[in-house]
Amino acid sequence: MFLGTHTPRLDEKGRLVLPAKFREELAGGVVLTKGQDRSVVVWPQAEFVLYADRLSDSSRSDAKARAYLRVLFSSACDEIPDRQGRVTVPPALRDYAGLDREVVVVGNGATCEIWATEAWNAYLSQQEVAYSDLSEEVVPGLI
């Protein structure tokens, strides 16, 4: 499980040193994809395969499902972290998420996300107000 907030930096080649706490779980390979909030999602390879299998059950006749699948899979790239725990974030994903040198890596349970620092800070400040005001079920049947 990926937890916490970490502040590594991208180097001049677009490489990111994964947080030490995440490296063992990601050592077997990662898939990087576009996140829905202008972030980059980092999936453990095995978790992405399970997610892709669940998505394969979606209806190919549904235009929204097709669009989601196209964007997700066309933006995805797989990689094996190097010995220093680095992965390269491709230029298209860096552009999509507005990533520069200063980034934030946040744990999100089964995945982690790479955010531009300013975008993460803005998102978090907005969401913290809503988080503290929640009074009804967020995930029906769970919370």
CB-based contacts of 46: which residues, under 8 Å, 6+ apart?
28
pLDDT for the residue 3: 98
| Residue 138, domain member (yes or no) | no
- Give me the phi and psi of 64, to 5 degrees please: -65, -40
Cα–Cα distance list, 17 to 68, 79, 99, 121 (Å): 29, 13, 14, 21
| Residue 143, domain member (yes or no) | no
pLDDT for the residue 133: 72
Given a cut of 60, whether residue 143 has pLDDT beyond it is no
Range of the domain at 14: 5-133
Q: Which 3 state secondary structure label does DSSP give 125?
A: helix
| Residue 79, domain member (yes or no) | yes
Given a cut of 90, whether residue 38 has pLDDT beyond it is yes
Shortest CA distance to 30 belongs to which of 43, 17, 14, 49? Answer: 43
| Residue 18, domain member (yes or no) | yes
Each as own residue / partner, the long-range contacts of residues 89-95 (CB below 8 Å, 24 or more positions apart, any chain) are 89/10, 89/14, 89/15, 89/16, 89/32, 89/40, 89/114, 90/14, 90/32, 91/14, 93/32, 93/33, 93/34, 93/40, 94/10, 94/14, 94/40
Tally of domains within the chain: 1
Q: 101: which DSSP letter?
A: S
Mean pLDDT, residues 22-45 taken together = 97
| Residue 75, domain member (yes or no) | yes
Mean pLDDT, residues 35-44 taken together = 96
Task: Dump pLDDT digits (tens) for 47-89.
Answer: 999 999 998 888 778 898 889 999 999 999 999 999 999 999 9
Given a cut of 90, whether residue 24 has pLDDT beyond it is yes
| Residue 35, domain member (yes or no) | yes
| Residue 142, domain member (yes or no) | no
Task: Dump pLDDT digits (tens) for 5-17.
Answer: 999 999 999 999 9
Report the CATH number at residue 79.
Answer: 3.40.1550.20
Task: Dump pLDDT digits (tens) for 83-112.
Answer: 999 999 999 999 999 999 999 999 999 999
